[in-house]
Structure formats: structure tokens, C-alpha cells
A and B are shown apart, each in its own frame.
Chain A
């Protein structure tokens, strides 16, 4: 069914976000609030993807794995963190953070609308378990979107106009 495709797209969004949050965290390891929050949000997305797993099977949808293996990511993560510490803070790293947050915002927006598609589909298919999963996860996705917007609004004035 076509619902399978929507679930698969949502699963992909969440898995992509796990990798993206971790990359942004490590790339900005000297921005401690960004570092810790991105790792926390990566864990949220990983939980969402895990909870979607039974529904992928129920509807015979395709699962998406992380785009890079864990070991590779942990090695590259260490390099990114070291690099972030060597670079420190500057106008260039500020612009990079803003552009990373903007990309995160757009990816989370995609996940958020995917949740709505799945939820409406689940209601039409009378799949109450899938509709309940929306209730458990969507609020977090919506707060992730608000978080990215809050950080972008905080960082923009200094980065775009300040020295």
C-alpha cells in the first residue's frame, strides 16, 4: 500500500536526522550547548526510528539504515571534535554553525510533515497503534523544529552583523 511508502519516508527522515545531529554536534564541539543538545536529539530520533520498525514490517515497507556504519562515524566524529577544538570560535565557525542549524531545521521540517502524512494515513486505515505512535513522537519532532528556530534566532544577529 501507499502508506508503506509514507512510513518508509518518515523512517528515512528520522535515520537521516540521527546522523545529521551527530555530525553537527561533533563539528561544533566547542559550542557546548549545541554539542550536548544535538546528541540528545539524535537519541530522540533513533528512538523514533526504532519505534517505527514494527510498522515497517507490518506494511512491508523498506527500512533505511544509517548512511554510514557506526565504527566509521565514531572515528570521523573524533576527528570532527578535535578539529572543532583546534578551530575554536571565529566569524567563519559562526557562519558554519548557522548554516548547519538551517539545514537541520529544513530536515526536521521534512520529518515533521512526514509524521502528519503517516498519522492521517493511519487514521484512514484505522491503525490505532500507528496513530498512537504519532502522539508519542510528534511532539518531540515539533519541539526539535522550535529548538532549531530558537538557536537560529539567537545566533543570527551576532553572526550576520557583529564582528
Chain B
């Protein structure tokens, strides 16, 4: 089940991801507001409501909780994620030890009230919040409880961290291998509310530039798009500002490979290839940059037909052992020039 994300563009080594999602033995369910690349590979697609079409809270990275109210009805058969999940639990007939339905609630507000009771006494304490308070106050940061009735602006006041063995949520990992610490190792450190600073020795990237693939590719974002453009690409201003993929090359490498600004180029790695216009940019010699937003949904396809545009065609299946974040920033590639810049370079305003 894939809920509101798009692994057929956002995960590394897309040829591999498409072949996995297309397997007969895998039953793929995608729940999204728009038909994404991943949705095109799914066995079942559940249309979901967007933020203005449903009520619920969201929590920012700085712990601020907002209430977002439904403004319009979702179109067609689309339903909110919560309603879809509740329908699942009813179909599965999940029950508690007394034979009663497992979930006693059905509205977003009831779900929030149940959730906030679960957080009581934990680091992310929502217990002092309510829909009424969020409507009145607008925004509240957790922790919000008897000690912090209006929410807590700062964590770790007085230099006390959530490291006490009785209070912490896990015992941590070795950064190099991801090996889990055990309770007795952790207690032996005697953290008792002190911060734990961790270090790891340098280890070289698992894929290094070679004679065949002499350049290093790093992938990233444009300010005009979010993730795989599922929403941003449907906003004409944002789409026009950065309409197509590009390849940033240092002036040194461009000179050596006789590549001019706007030339059509091909990037090739051990896993796949990509085509786009070159931009001579202020990147380090030996390094290339490609934004990862450009999949195939706006060409009504799950994958490329001819020149590929998704940066993750090139990236490597490898991830950090602790955070499990894929290594999007290091892949060895080869750069070649295909055609000179035409009269109609669709560079957009992002140049």
C-alpha cells in the first residue's frame, strides 16, 4: 500500500523500482489525489481528498500543530485518508477483547482526542490541546500539558535531554553499521538527561568515479517544485518557472567536453540514463547536479519512452544504515553531448 507518495519517481534506481512494482506476485494499492507514476503501476487506485477537502491537524517540523478545516467537498469518489482507513478496519472487522469494534471513534476530532491521550506523559505531549483551542489560538507547539499549558517554545530547557533510560524511546545505534545498542550498553553510558554526541569515522562513498563513469552526480530540488511535482506541476506558474529537467555542469567540465549552455546532453550511470539541457553553473569541477522532480505523469506514462528525465534513473540502491535515507547525493556518471542548443530552449524563468 502506497499512501500519498510516489516511489516510482522518488526512490533510487527507477528501472528496478518499476520492475518490482510491476511484479505479478505483488498486489499494489495506491491512495493519492492524482494519478501518479506509481498509480499507473498499481492494481487498485483509491482516490483521496486533498488538504482543502478534509479536516485534520498537521504538525510542522518545529512541533507547531495546526488545524486545517475542510473548505470544499472532495471531487468524484475521492474520500479523506481517515475515512478510507476506517473503511478498511470495518471490512477487516477488527474487534477488542470484549468483542466491541476496535476503534470507538470515526471523526477527525475524535481521532485527535484519542491520539492526544496516547501522547500524555511522552516527549511529544499533545494532551493539553483540543480542536476548540486550535481554532481559538491558531497554533500550538507540543509539548502542551499541565507544565506547558500554552505549548512549549523550546525543548531541553535547563540542558535536560530526553536521554534518561526510563524515559527515552530507544537506545540508539552505531552510526557506521546501524548496529542497535542494547539496554545494558546504554545504561552503562549513564546518560541521565545529558546530551549524547556521536561521531563516525569517514567512509568513502560506495560508488567512486572511474574511467567509464568519471563524474559524480548529486541530485536535489528546485524552489519551484515539491517532490515529484504531483501538485506543483499542476500549478501553471510553478510549472512554467521550471518546466523541464536540466543538468548543471561546471564551466571547467563543460569546456573539456565541448558542451555549451543549453546543449542537449545525456547522463549515463551503471543503472540507467537521462537526457536534458545543460546549464553551465557554479558547481565544483567533477560534480554534476540534476533536480529529481521530473517523472512521466504529465506524459501519461509510468516510465520513460525514449529520453528519460527522472534523476533517480541514475542513482544507486544503497542507504544510510541508521536513518535508512537513500544515498541520493553520490552516483558515478558519464556525460555526453547530444545536440547543440536549439532556437527553442524551454529553459523557463528558473535559469
> Which residues of A pack against B, CB within 8 Å?
32-33, 36-37, 39-41, 143-144, 146-147, 149-150, 153
Whether the pair B177, A37 counts as a contact (CB closer than 8 A) is yes
Whether the pair A143, B203 counts as a contact (CB closer than 8 A) is no
Whether the pair A150, B178 counts as a contact (CB closer than 8 A) is yes
Residues of B within 8 A of A36 (CB): 206, 318
Could you give, for residues 178-209 of chain B, a 1 whenever the CB lies within 8 Å of some chain A CB and a 0 otherwise? Answer: 11111000000000000000000001001000
CB distance from A112 to the nearest CB of B (A): 13
A39 to B207, CA, bound (A): 12
Kindly count the residue-residue contacts between A and B in the assembled complex, taking CB atoms under 8 Å apart: 40
Q: Which of B200-226 contact A (CB under 8 A)?
A: 203, 206
Q: Does B321 touch A at the CB level, under 8 Å? A: yes
Q: Which of B285-310 contact A (CB under 8 A)?
A: none
Residues of B within 8 A of A143 (CB): 174, 176-177, 179
A46 to B178, CA, bound (A): 20
Supply 8 further A-B pairs (C-beta < 8 A) apart from A143-B174, A144-B177: A32-B318, A41-B177, A143-B176, A143-B177, A147-B174, A147-B177, A147-B179, A149-B179
Residues of A within 8 A of B177 (CB): 37, 40-41, 143-144, 146-147, 150
Q: How many residues in B have their beta carbons less than 8 Å from beta carbons of A?
A: 14
> Known contacts A143-B174, A146-B174, A147-B174; is A33 also within 8 Å of B319 by CB?
yes
Residues of A within 8 A of B203 (CB): 40
A144 to B206, CA, bound (A): 18
Residues of B within 8 A of A147 (CB): 174, 177-179
CB distance from B40 to the nearest CB of A (A): 24
Residues of A within 8 A of B179 (CB): 143-144, 146-147, 149-150
Give 7 closest A-B pairs by Cβ, nearest first. Answer: A146-B179, A147-B179, A147-B177, A150-B180, A143-B174, A32-B317, A150-B179
